[in-house]
Amino acid sequence: MIVGGYRGTETLVQIYDVVGKHLRKIKSTLYERDGSTSVKINNHVYSAGGARSKIVECLNLNQVNVGWNKVASMKEQRWGAASAVLNDQMCVAGGWNGRNVLSSVELYNPVVNTWTNIASMKTKRYGHALVSYNGCLYTFGGWDGSNPLNSMESFDPREGKWKSLKPMNEERNALCGVVYNDEIYAIGGKGLRSVERYNIRTNTWTKVSSLKHVRWGSCACVVNGKIYVIGGDGNDASKSIEAYDATINEWKIETNMETPRWQASVVAL
Residue 243 — pLDDT band, cuts 50, 70, 90?
A: very high
Q: What is the rounded average pLDDT for all residues in the chain?
A: 97
Residue 52's pLDDT is: 85
pLDDT in tens, 121-175: 999 999 999 999 999 999 999 999 999 999 999 999 999 999 999 999 999 999 9
The pLDDT of 190-215, averaged and rounded, is 97
Residue 197's pLDDT is: 98
Neighbours of 145 (CB within 10 A): 12
Q: Which CATH superfamily is domain 2-266 in?
A: Kelch-type beta propeller (2.120.10.80)
Answer yes or no: is pLDDT of 24 > 80. yes
Tell me which residue of 73, 75, 43 sits closest to 57, measured CA to CA. 73
Please report, rounded to a whole number, the percentage of residues in the chain having pLDDT higher than 90. 97
Sign of the Cα torsion 107, 57, 36, 44 reads positive
Residue 29 — pLDDT band, cuts 50, 70, 90?
A: very high
Residue 142's pLDDT is: 98
Q: Enumerate the domain spans of the chain.
A: 2-266
Residue 223's pLDDT is: 98
Residue 86 — pLDDT band, cuts 50, 70, 90?
A: very high
Answer yes or no: is pLDDT of 226 > 90. yes
Residue 213's pLDDT is: 95
